[in-house]
């Protein structure tokens, strides 16, 4: 059994069956990509992992704990962090402040701006935040306002905000969407570095260059159902995947 196990998950929205008996087993320390055409159910599945949606039937178990019925902030405290398609940062704050906020939240359960706990731990948390910014090559910009960053740097900042919480599982929803190729390649390199430190990652991505550069294993969704799961080389040549994902063209 992996660090994240999904068994027979189903989810309907009215007459639409968004997820149809989905089964996944995400192994610890791996990068597992989930691909598929638009409307395949990828983001719906991710939302079931983080408590934003609850399956109609089935189970989602993380590190031995069922995630069903647990609110998102509690799932985060268990060690699951999510990176959204559009970077979610505090644009009016500095990069350092952006990373300090989740560091406080992980430590104290909330960001106590005026609390004694925050005052007492500020130096320690500041140091943790600076280490994270160094890890994503943003330390030189720590005093800059985050809203002025490029899209690639905003993604790096968001990753630092996740990593300062020391997640066991990092969920990434189209992490390179809208990036120029140079920023995409830099993000791939950063994600490889994160993976090398043992952080398990689930990546939803449309860019096959990103998928095949990163993934140890790939699951393919079509119409809410997993139609294939295998190592990247096997997925490339699977005719079911080629038909569902690219109308029969080769990946």
Give me the tens of pLDDT residue by residue for the chain, a chain 251 residues long. Answer: 689 999 999 999 999 999 999 999 999 999 999 999 888 999 999 999 999 999 999 999 999 999 999 999 889 889 999 988 778 899 999 999 999 988 877 765 554 444 444 544 578 889 999 999 999 999 999 999 999 999 899 999 999 999 999 999 999 999 998 888 999 999 999 999 999 999 999 999 989 999 999 999 999 999 999 999 999 999 988 888 888 765 544 45
> CA-to-CA distance for 134 and 23, rounded, in angstroms?
38
DSSP run (H or E) holding 66: strand 65-66
Residue with tokens 């009016």: 92
CATH fold of 4-79+167-246, please? Answer: Rossmann fold (3.40.50)
> CA-to-CA distance for 78 and 167, rounded, in angstroms?
8
> CA-to-CA distance for 218 and 175, rounded, in angstroms?
16
In this prediction, residue 224 carries a pLDDT of 93
**Residue spans per domain, the chain:** 4-79+167-246, 87-148
In this prediction, residue 115 carries a pLDDT of 46
- Are 137 and 131 in contact, with CB atoms under 8 Å apart? no
Closest of 22, 24, 20, 2 to residue 12, by C-alpha: 20
Strand-pairing partners, residue 81, are 170
> CA-to-CA distance for 22 and 226, rounded, in angstroms?
6
In this prediction, residue 70 carries a pLDDT of 93
């Amino acid at each position: 059994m992996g660090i994240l196990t999904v068994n027979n998950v189903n989810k309907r929205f009215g007459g639409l069956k968004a997820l149809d008996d989905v089964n996944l087993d995400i192994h610890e320390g791996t990068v597992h990509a989930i691909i598929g055409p638009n409307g395949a159910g990828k983001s719906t599945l991710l939302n079931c992992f983080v408590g934003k949606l609850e399956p109609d039937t089935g189970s989602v178990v993380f590190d031995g704990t069922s995630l069903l019925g647990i609110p998102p902030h509690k799932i985060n405290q268990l060690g699951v962090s999510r990176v959204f398609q559009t970077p979610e940062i505090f644009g009016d704050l500095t990069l350092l402040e952006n990373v300090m906020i989740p560091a406080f939240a992980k430590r104290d359960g909330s960001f106590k701006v005026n609390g004694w706990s925050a005052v007492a731990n500020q130096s320690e948390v500041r140091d943790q935040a600076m280490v994270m910014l160094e890890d994503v090559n943003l330390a030189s910009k720590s005093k800059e306002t985050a809203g002025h960053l490029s899209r690639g740097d905003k993604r790096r900042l968001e990753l630092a905000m996740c990593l300062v919480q020391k997640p066991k599982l990092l969920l990434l929803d189209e992490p390179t969407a809208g990036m120029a190729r140079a920023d995409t390649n830099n993000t791939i390199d950063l994600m490889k570095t994160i993976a090398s430190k043992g952080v398990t990652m689930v990546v939803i991505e449309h860019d096959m260059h990103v998928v095949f550069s990163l993934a140890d294993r790939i699951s393919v969704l079509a119409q809410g159902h997993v139609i294939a799961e295998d190592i990247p080389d096997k997925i490339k040549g699977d005719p079911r995947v080629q038909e569902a994902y690219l109308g029969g063209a080769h990946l």
